[in-house]
Amino acid sequence: MGRTKTIAIVLGGGKGTRLYPLTKDRSKPAVPFAGKYRLVDIPISNCINSEIKQIYILTQFNSASLHNHIANTYIFDTFSNGFVEILAAEQTYHNNDWYQGTADAVRKNLKHFADQNADYYLILSGDQLYRMDYREMLKTHIESGAVLTIAAKTISRQEATGLGIIGADEKGIVKKFYEKPAPDLDISEYQIPSKLLKESLNQKPTEHNEYLASMGIYIFDARAMEEMLESNQSTDFGKEIIPDVIKTKKVATYVYDGFWEDIGTVKAFYDTNIDLASVTPAFNFYNEEMPIYTHRRHLPATKVNFCNISCSLTSEGSIITNAYIVNSIIGVRTLIESGASLDGVYCMGASFYETPEEKAENARKKIPNVGIGRATIIRRAIIDQNARIGDGCRIGIDDIDRIEGDYTNYSIHDGIIVIHKNAIIPHGTIL
């Protein structure tokens, strides 16, 4: 294949409105995930496992938590020429606005990428859970002779409504593209040719794999992408740039057969996290061949005193006493007091431990300590970092009207209660 150079560009998302309030005080790539990771660890780990070690993260704003996480986690040695660099939307003499879309974000940073003199650009999303060796996709891209290759997965007609649908020929060359077709629209002309399905996945057509959906993972020939973005001022890859490229240039598809989930909404984020704690999760974190990397915290092991815990993950540095925990994820440094009960809760944990003096001061001020108080019962909730939940609280338990929306210390989205970062929930609160 010869020596080629690929650089990765991770699209960190806009202001993260779909994941609000988890993105209220941090950029989307920095949102804690699976107890001890951050969302950005997924694409970066896939890159490292694929021997791609020059990685840019594009984000609307560079939150301190993202910067600290990247700086403390992805430290490459001098000999690998590797780096992970954050490029936040910046004001210059030429422009002073936010990124207007995915393609606009890449266009505004072309000057940074040009220094690398890459042969290929790998464009990735920052809010998906999957494990992929991008070298396989790159091989498909080079062999096809296309200027752009789109990673795609097979889906049913029912799933097609929320995704970009690819119409490919039997050799996998993309002929047409339809973004989010309405449920009642006839899109049968987009069905996967059975020959492509057989050759790429060795499958036969069924109602579960009728269509190909774009995964939002692209490989571009570097010069071609630079020219496209300079000549076409459209702002979004999926909606505008890619449909235009398909009309005039050769575009291939790489059919992927593994687990892939978009976790860009609060409901998808919650469901995907809770599934990780199940007996047989759809995504396997326990793969030593292709690990997911994250920040090493040097925390002690979790201490569990007289607890009943099942189908749950507990991250390091936690202290859990006399609690009942089921179908939940307990993040780093979580303190759970006696008599607490959690069912279907993602607790993101804390970024620090409180000292005895600080706890005494909390008692004097009558505010709860960081963590979950005594005899508190919580169901179907996300508890963001450093939240203080008092004693005897009932969250998501009682049959009361819960109106979707944002409130002072919490929000409700799709029936999921999200306790905000640094929130104080007083003793005895019922939500």
| CATH label of the domain that carries residue 126 | 3.90.550.10
**Do residues 321 and 392 share a domain?**
yes
Could you list the beta-strand ranges (E) of 230-365.
251-256, 260-262, 303-305, 308-310, 313-314, 319-321, 324-326, 329-330, 335-336, 341-347
Confidence at 95, pLDDT banded by 50, 70, 90: low
Q: Are residues 268 and 334 in the same domain?
A: no
- What does the buried/exposed string (b/e) look like for 411-424 if buried means 16 or more CB atoms within 10 Å of the residue's CB? bbbeebbbbbbebb
Q: b/e per residue, 244-273, with b = 16+ CB within 10 A?
A: ebbeeeebbbbbbeeebbbbbebebbbebb
Q: Tell me, what's the pLDDT at 207?
A: 84
Determine the Cα–Cα distance for residues 238 and 214; give it in Å rounded to an integer. Answer: 9
**Do 270 and 342 belong together in one domain?**
no
What is the rounded average pLDDT of the residues 334-338? 98
Q: How many structural domains comprise the chain?
A: 2
Question: Which pLDDT score, from 0 to 100, does residue 397 have?
Answer: 96
If phi over 0 gives left and psi between -120 and 50 gives alpha, with beta otherwise, what is residue 290?
beta
Lowest mean pLDDT among 75-89, 128-142, 306-320: 75-89
Residue 15 confidence (pLDDT): 65
CA-to-CA separations, 107 to 62, 140, 228, 236, in angstroms, rounded: 18, 25, 10, 10
**In this structure, what DSSP letter does residue 173 have?**
B
Structural domain includes residue 149: yes
**How far is residue 430's CA from residue 298's CA, in Å, rounded to a whole number?**
36
Within a domain: 294: no
User: Of 231, 261, 276, at which residue does a domain stop?
Assistant: 276
Both 209 and 346 in one domain: the answer is no
Q: Of 58-67, 286-295, 358-367, 395-404, where does mean pLDDT reach its minimum? A: 58-67
Query: Is 70 exceeded by the pLDDT of residue 325?
Result: yes
Please state which of the ranges 89-93, 216-220, 389-393, 398-402 shows the lowest mean pLDDT: 89-93
Residue indicated by tokens 């890619």:
242
Q: List for the chain the helix, strand, coil content (%; round to 5).
A: 25, 30, 45
pLDDT range class, residue 331, cuts 50, 70, 90? very high
1 inside domain = no
38/102 same-domain check: yes
Look at residues 276, 295, 314 and tell me which one is the last residue of a structural domain: 276
Co-location of 318 and 263 in the same domain? no
Residues 272 and 343 in one domain: no
The CATH number for 308's domain is 2.160.10.10
Q: Are residues 354 and 240 in the same domain?
A: no
Q: Which domain holds residue 35?
A: 6-276
Domain membership flag for residue 431: no
Give me the chain's average pLDDT, please: 92
Residue 334: inside a domain, yes or no? yes
In a domain, 213, yes or no: yes
In a domain, 209, yes or no: yes
- pLDDT the model gives residue 2: 55
Which of 229, 261, 276 delimits the end of a domain?
276
Q: How far apart are CA 76 and CA 72, in angstroms?
A: 11
The confidence band for 291, taking pLDDT boundaries of 50, 70 and 90, is very high
Residues 242 and 391 in one domain: no
Both 266 and 322 in a single domain? Answer: no
> Is 217 inside any structural domain?
yes
Residues 222 and 332 in one domain: no
Same domain assignment for residues 259 and 343: no
Q: Is the pLDDT of residue 340 over 90?
A: yes
Using the Cα atoms of residue 205, residue 167, residue 226 and residue 4 in order, give the sign of their dihedral: positive
